[in-house]
């Protein structure tokens, strides 16, 4: 059984992930696509663009390594917080597939933004039963703020911090004000740098340009992408519905931590509407999709052939998103 591969032997799972992911990226290795050009209000990303854009092959290989490492780190987060079995790498596998769209197979703002959001989520999950909640919230706010300097749309993930405080029933004013101080810290450094280098006016202009360019649209012109994404969304919906039914039997800490992942999907819906920045917004949902779908697949003990077929169709849909979209 294909799914059984992800219930045992780590070595075989790593080999399978490489076996599937390398063909997804081989086209970009052979003919590297250029990095995404200067992005408005993405100052830290633009620094990487200046340094690495002359070396497209190197930046493509680096992007592939970052995707693998993010998938591994995501899997470790789930293991550390007892959200999936310690013997499976299925969340990593799905995360790598969701993050391997041909439209982002090079260094890009989304790749950096997801890295910092993953670290922030790990910090937020640590807020349960810990005496230093304020430090965890402060560091998470800084991480989201830094992520916004790579991809401005990630600023919406700042909503995840007060939501986490509500989930964990933390209502002390210090923790809530810490969110503002943590987020403001990197932004103040940016403003001071712009001020002392006479770039403050340029900074304000780029912010104004970004705000005026916001448009909430959904791209439905690509029928193949629409069909595959609807199928992926359908699998996720079933997985999430099964989670809601079975979550009542889970311990409180498990439900609270999975609620944080659930909210990344809700916030991601807003980000997915920015089609001019993200031609394939499914990468934004890599975190919730990978967790809930892998949870559903691994817990499905009946009619193994059926779940293997669903799993195979899901992998095919993700391949189609790479090669035909």
Helical (H) or strand (E) element with 303:
none
pLDDT value for 314 = 85
The parts of the chain modelled with pLDDT lower than 70 are 1, 38-40, 102-103, 129-130, 205-222, 248-250, 273-281, 301-304, 323-325
pLDDT value for 318 = 81
DSSP 307: H
pLDDT value for 276 = 45
| Alpha-carbon gap, residue 294 to 300, rounded angstroms | 10
Q: Is residue 222 within 8 Å of 276, Cβ to Cβ?
A: no
* Strands (E) located in the chain: none
State the angle between helix axes of 90-98 and 304-323 in degrees (0 to 180), rounded to the nearest 10. 30
State pTM to two decimals. Answer: 0.89
pLDDT value for 166 = 92
* Residue partners of 66: CB distance under 8 A and separation at least 6: 107, 111, 115
The DSSP annotation for 255-322 comes to HHHHHHHHHHHHHHHHHHTBTTT-SSGGGGGHHHHHHHHHHHHHH--S-HHHHHHHHHHHHHHHHHHH
> What digits encode the pLDDT tens for the residues 271-325?
776 544 444 457 788 999 999 999 988 887 666 677 888 888 888 888 887 766 5
């Amino acid at each position: 059984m294909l799914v059984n591969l992800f219930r045992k032997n780590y070595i075989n799972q790593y080999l399978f992930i490489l076996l599937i992911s390398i063909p997804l990226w081989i086209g970009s290795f052979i003919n590297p696509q250029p990095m995404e050009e200067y992005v408005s209000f993405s100052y830290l990303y633009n620094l990487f663009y200046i340094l690495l854009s002359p070396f497209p092959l190197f930046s493509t290989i680096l992007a592939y390594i970052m995707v693998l490492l993010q998938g591994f780190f995501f899997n470790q987060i789930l293991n550390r917080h007892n959200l999936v079995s310690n013997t499976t790498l299925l969340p990593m596998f799905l995360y790598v597939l969701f993050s391997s769209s041909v439209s982002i197979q090079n260094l890009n703002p989304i790749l950096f933004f997801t890295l910092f959001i993953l670290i922030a989520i790990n910090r937020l999950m640590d807020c349960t039963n810990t005496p230093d909640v304020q430090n965890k919230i402060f560091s998470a706010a800084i991480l989201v703020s830094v992520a916004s300097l790579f991809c401005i749309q990630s600023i919406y993930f700042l909503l995840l911090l007060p939501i986490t405080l509500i989930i964990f029933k933390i209502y002390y004013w210090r923790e809530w004000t810490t969110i503002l101080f943590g987020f403001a810290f990197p932004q103040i450094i940016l403003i001071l740098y712009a001020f002392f280098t006479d770039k403050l006016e340029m900074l304000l202009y780029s912010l104004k340009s970004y705000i005026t360019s916001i448009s909430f649209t959904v791209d439905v012109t690509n029928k193949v992408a629409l069909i595959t994404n609807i199928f992926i969304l359908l699998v996720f919906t079933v997985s999430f519905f099964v989670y809601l039914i079975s979550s009542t039997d889970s311990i409180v800490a498990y439900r609270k931590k999975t609620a944080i992942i659930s909210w990344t999907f809700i916030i991601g819906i807003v980000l997915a509407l920015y089609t001019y920045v993200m031609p394939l917004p499914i990468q934004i949902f890599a975190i919730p999709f990978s967790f809930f779908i892998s949870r559903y697949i691994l817990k499905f003990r009946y009619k193994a052939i059926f779940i293997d077929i669903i799993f195979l169709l899901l992998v095919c849909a993700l391949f189609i998103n790479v090669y035909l979209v």
